[in-house]
Amino acid sequence: MATPRRIFDIENAETADSLGTTAYQLLTAIVVPRPIAWISTVSSDGVGNLAPHSFFTVSCANPAIVQFTSVGRKDTLRNIEQTGEFTISLAPEHLLDQVNDSSAPYDADVDEAQALAIAMEPSEKVAPPRVAASPASIECRLHSVVELGDSWLVLGTVCAITVHESALDGTHPRFDALQPLSRLGRNEWGRPPTVIAVDRPQAPPEGD
Ligand SMILES: Cc1cc2nc3c(=O)[nH]c(=O)nc-3n(C[C@H](O)[C@H](O)[C@H](O)COP(=O)(O)O)c2cc1C
């Protein structure tokens, strides 16, 4: 007997009520854990901005391109459209409160980093600064923005990556030093998980 499943008919759901939940609530609980891009931007008026985004991943290996999604039009998206630059700082576990606090709906003329006393430092190649205490940062120039319904997919070409020397094993960033937070569903966060190293098979496994 197959294990019973609840079916959420997303494409035929007129309202969230008919599902008992929204596709967004289901997806953010199932597509987990999501890494958190702590995104720093500067407006065309020179106001800094810092906000976490967990709809975030690598989009292209070569050229190196990363992406995040703005659900709705937010300061981060507007600033990137204005200036074409952003910096992603990795969100480490010890900065959870600051990461979360920077997601509050501050007015566009308020710099979250200043308001929350989060120390920033200059980036290497782009104007938006990075979070000084974050062990790794990714500097990006805007590749493109794709409008998708109520969300905007932002693709950024990576122009520099920095890693704290203390977080490197040779040239390899050490997971145990990065200690990245992740986002789960609702108000849930993931602590850094246990790491297991497993080599990929060089050939299909032999059948029995
Ligand atoms: C852990 C976490 C992850 C988030 N991920 C996203 C996301 O992927 N996309 C988004 O639009 N908002 C996301 N948010 C909400 C934004 O951080 C929030 O709307 C913020 O106020 C946006 O700031 P801004 O207007 O300064 O850009 C997230 C919030 C938290 C706490």
pTM of the model: 0.97
Spatial distance between the Cα atoms of 106 and 100, rounded to a whole number of angstroms: 12
Query: If you measure from the C-alpha of residue 170 to the centroid of ligand 1, how many angstroms do you get, rounded to a whole number?
Result: 34
Residue 52 near ligand 1, beta carbon < 6 Å: yes
The confidence band for 109, taking pLDDT boundaries of 50, 70 and 90, is: very high
Question: Where do the domains of the chain lie, and which CATH numbers do they carry?
Answer: 26-190 (2.30.110.10)
Which contiguous run of DSSP H or E holds residue 61?
A: none
Pick the range with the lowest mean pLDDT from 14-18, 71-75, 80-84.
Answer: 14-18
To test the pocket of ligand 1, the residue of 103, 106, 110, 112 to mutate (highest count of ligand atoms within 8 Å of its CB) is: 103
